[in-house]
Structure 1
Amino acid sequence: MKLQCEVEVVNRMLPTYGLKNRGKGTRAVLSIGRHFDKTTQRNNIYLMICTAKDKAGSKYKLKENIEKFFTWFVDEGKATVRLKEPAVDVCLSKADANSLKNFLSAARLAHRGSDNDTLPLSTLTPVRARDVEKPKKRLVIMSKKDYPLTSNFPYSLEQLQVSYCKLSRVDMRMLSLKCLRRLDLSNNHIKKLPATIGDLGCLAELVLHNNHLEAFSEALCLSSLQRTLQHLDLSQNRLRALPAQFCQLRELVNLKLDDNRLVRLPFRIGCLSKLRFLSAAHNQLPFLPSDFRKLSLENLDLFDNPFTQANPLDHTMQLTFPLTLQEMASRAVLNLRIPYGPRVLPAHLCRELDLAKTCFCSRACLSSYIQTAVSMNLHLVSHTVVLVDDMGGTEAPVQRHFCSLTCYSEYLDSCLQRGLR
């Protein structure tokens, strides 16, 4: 039985002599195994602690020699084993929680004198230097020849960059790195993202710059990334659209979408209330979604998009007379703020309600509406705006929706009163 973690052996007698412990853990390998005791001429079960300075290891007898286990924080990878002789506390930290629980169970069995055949014992041999090295937090691989083929990535990695390795897919070994906070797979040939990226529960930064991505899956938008992802770089790919569920990634602060083939931005982009930096230059955007006006950005770059000329009189009529029963009921649910969900309504109705449009009068409309585009100065949503064209413009067309002819007429009247033609 072996365990890798940080260990501090605290001598409980030191305060008696006016001395203090160092108070800092050291990377170590702990083993529970059988050792021949020359004093008693018998095999006994020992705990051996090996560190970089003491690769041969220090041994402590376990049978009837543990005074107490302190396991209040075992789920955080911390525990203490108090020994009777010598009078020391073995303080463990930064261990894998499940491995630590198994190790403590084995130590408890050894203390009780359980049959050796029931214990997962290890050989008590000196460790190699690499076994007691400090856990690696950051790894950068910038060429295919450096890419590991036969060995795993260090489990302790918090930052991993793999670039210029011609990867055509995400290596599943990366998705077992539960401490990963930053994953940079830029400058590869990745075409599709596995939904299991969403299982990386600490991932705050995902960089996929310059790949061959054609889609960003709905599953990723509904994964644990909703709670962790703050920086997302999808620039220089082949994306034509992002799913409506993309706006569930509400922790996003920085979003890069430059140099794709986007013909629209997510309809509910205004839900990204924490978004501060947005760049979607060099795409195929004809207009911005109506929700765009809800953003509050520090920096915005929409340069080189084929924005259409906004004219409130040019409109698309999708109104039906009379309104369908489904349209009326859906509007009522949203306007009256009636709670809904998959347990109450069919999933496809929930999706339609989630994509409802907001009229000029602040009421909802779904499949029956009038659509037009109006010009908006981008400084209304961002402190700093990169010019949208070579002519020095900072305005772009934004969609507007109207639930009825009455609302559309009132809007045109207000435009005329402001001198808009």
Structure 2
Amino acid sequence: MKLQCDVEILNRQLPTYGMKGRGKGMRAVLSIGKHLDKTSQRSHVYLLICTAKDRAGSKYKLKDNIEKFFTWFVEEGKATVRLKEPAVDICLSKADPNSLKNFLSAARLADRGSETSSLPLSTLTPVRARDVEQPKKRLSILSKKDYPLTSNFPYSLEQLQVSWCKLTRVDMRMLSLKALRVLDLSSNHIKKLPATIGDLGCLSHLNLRNNHLESFSEALCLSTLQKTLHSLDLAHNQLRSLPPEFCQLRELVTLKVDDNQLVCLPFHIGRLSKLRFLSAAHNQLSVLPMDFRKLSLENLDLFGNPFIQPNPLDHTIKLTFPLPLQEIASRAVANQRTVFGPQLIPAHLCRDLEVAKICCCGQVCISQYIQSSVSMNLHQVSHTVVLVDNMGGTDAPIQQYFCSLTCYSHFLDSSLQRAAR
């Protein structure tokens, strides 16, 4: 049984002499195995700790020699083994949690004097220099021939780039890298993302540029990425839409979706209150969602989209008279900001309320409305704007909803008055 981790050995007698430990571990390889005691000519099970400074290692007898195990933080790769003789605490950290659990189980069996045949023993030999190097935090693989097929990725990785390797799916071994903060899988052939990417609890930057993605799943939007993901690059893929739940990724600062086939942006995109850099050039956007007005960006690029020319007379009417009772009730719930949820009202009504539209008068409409589009200067939502077209414009059409014929009539009147000036 072997374990790679950081180790600090604290002598419990040091405080007696007014001394303290360094408080910092060294990279080490720990082994549990048999060693012949030359004095008694008997074999005992020992713990061998090898470091870069002492590759031959120091041995500690295990049988009846462990006073206590401290395992409160074993899920974080940390534990402490307290020995009776010598009076030291062996503090372990930066270990793989599963490997650490197995190692501690073997140490417990050795302490109890279990039969050696039941123990996963190793040979107690000096280690190689590379085995006790500091853990690797960054790794870049830029060709298929360099891609590891038989060995695992270093568990300690915080930044991993795998590009130009013709991957058709995300390697599940990557998803066990719990310290990963940056994952760059750009320029591959990935078509679908596993929902388990959302289990990477530290992931803040995800680059999937230049792949074959056709969708971004709801599960990812509802995962721990909600709290960690700051930058997402989905440019040069085959996305036609983003799910409504996409706007749950509220920590996003940078979003790139250039060169896809998006026909619309998420309805509630304004909920991405921390978004500062948005690039959605070269898609199929004809109009922006009404919620787009709520964004506060530093840089915006919407070049190369087939935006329509707003015309106040060009509209879609979805109004019936009188209004259905369900519409009246739903409007009342939304306008009064009444708390609702699937435990109180049917789920389909919750979904309708989630996409409620706001009329120019400030009132809410649900499924009964008049829809048109108006022109908006993009400098209203962004400090820097890339030109929308080759004509030097920075205006784009944005959806506008009206709750009644009266509101729409007022809108037409004001539009015609502006046009006449």
Instruction: Judge same fold: TM > 0.5, yes or no.
Output: yes
Q: Distance in 1 between matches of 2:81 and 2:150?
A: 36
For 2:138, give the aligned amino acid.
R
Partner of 1:166: 166
1:304-357 Cα offsets, whole Å, 9 max, x none, are 222111122321111122222332332233222232333334443332322222
Task: Tell me which residue corresponds to 1:207.
Answer: 207
Aligned to 1:59: 59
Aligned equivalent of 1:291: 291
State the secondary structure of the residue aligned to 2:292.
helix
1:211 Cα deviation (Å)? 1.5
**Separation (CA, whole Å) in 1 of partners of 2:97 and 2:143:** 34
1:27 counterpart residue number: 27
- Pairwise mapping of residues 275-286 of structure 1 onto structure 2 (< 5 A)? 275-286=275-286
Relative to 1, partners in 2 of residues 1:326 and 1:126: Cα closer, same or farther, differing over 3 Å?
farther
Q: Where does the alignment leave 5 or more consecutive residues of structure 1 unmatched?
A: none
Q: Is the 8 A contact 1:232 1:252 kept in 2?
A: yes
The residue aligned with 2:184 is 184
CA shift at 1:147, angstroms? 1.3
**Counterpart for residue 230 of structure 1:** 230
- TM-score with structure 1 length normalisation? 0.91
The separation in 2 between residues aligned to 1:286 and 1:420, in whole angstroms, is 26
Shift of residue 373 of structure 1? 0.7
Distance 1:287 1:299 in 2: 19
RMSD (CA atoms): 2.4
> Map of 1:197-346 to 2, 5 A cutoff?
197-346=197-346
Output the CA distance in 2 between the equivalents of 1:73 and 1:147: 33
AA aligned opposite 1:315: H
CA distance in 2, matches of 1:197, 1:39: 55
Distance of 1:85 and 1:159 partners within structure 2: 41
Q: Do the aligned partners of 1:26 and 1:51 also contact (CA within 8 Å) in 2?
A: yes
Give the partner amino acid of 1:247.
C
Check if 1:43 corresponds to 2:7. Answer: no
Relative to structure 1, is the Cα distance of residues 284 and 249 closer, same or farther in structure 2, using a 3 angstrom cutoff? same
Match of 1:412 in 2: 412
Per the normalisation by structure 2, the TM-score is 0.91
**Counterpart position of 1:364:** 364
* In structure 2, distance between residues paired with 1:393 and 1:105: 68
| 1:390 alignment counterpart | 390
* C-alpha contact 1:160 1:180 (8 A) present in aligned 2: yes
Q: How does 1:67-216 map to 2 (within 5 A)?
A: 67-114=67-114, 116=116, 119-216=119-216
CA distance in 1, matches of 2:86, 2:196: 48
Q: Secondary structure at the match of 2:260?
A: coil
Distance in 1 (CA, whole Å) between partners of 2:195 and 2:15 is 54
My pick for the range that moved more, 385-394 or 251-260, is 385-394
Distance verdict in 2 for CA 1:420–1:226, change over 3 Å: farther
CA contact (8 A) 1:244 1:355 kept: no
> 8 Å contact 1:78–1:95 — kept in the other structure?
yes
- Deviates further, 155-164 or 249-258: 155-164
SS in 1 for 2:206: strand
Counterpart Cα distance in 2 of 1:225 and 1:116: 46
Name which of structure 1's ranges 71-80 and 37-46 shifts more when overlaid on structure 2: 71-80
**Distance 1:420-1:230 versus aligned 2 partners, 3 A rule:** farther
Q: Once the two structures are aligned, what percentage of the paired residues are identical?
A: 78
Q: Is the 8 A contact 1:6 1:25 kept in 2?
A: yes
Secondary structure, aligned partner of 2:412:
helix
Select between 35-44 and 259-268 the one with higher mean Cα deviation.
35-44
- Code of the aligned partner of 2:254: N
In the alignment, the residues of structure 2 paired with residue 79 and residue 401 of structure 1 have an alpha-carbon distance, to the nearest angstrom, of 60
Matched residues in 2 for 1:189 and 1:74: separation?
A: 37
Q: 1-side partners of 2:153 and 2:47: how far apart?
A: 29
Would you say the 8 A contact 2:368–2:403 is kept in 1?
yes
Letter in 2 for 1:193: L
- The 3 A distance-change label for structure 1 pair 348 and 122 is farther
Q: CA deviation digits over 1:139-172, x for unaligned, max 9?
A: 1111111112222222222111111112222222
**How far does the alpha carbon of each residue in 1:280-320 deviate from its partner, in whole angstroms, 9 at most, with x for none?**
11122111110000001111111122211112232111112
In the alignment, the residues of structure 2 paired with residue 21 and residue 265 of structure 1 have an alpha-carbon distance, to the nearest angstrom, of 56
Tell me by how many angstroms 1:417 deviates: 5.7
Distance 1:106 1:268 in 2: 53
SS of the aligned residue for 1:376 comes to strand
Which sits farther off after the overlay, 385-394 or 348-357? 348-357
Kindly tell me: are residues 4 and 252 of structure 1, through their superposed partners in 2, closer, same or farther at Cα, counting changes over 3 Å?
same
Structure 2, gaps ≥5 residues long: none
SS in 2 for 1:349: helix
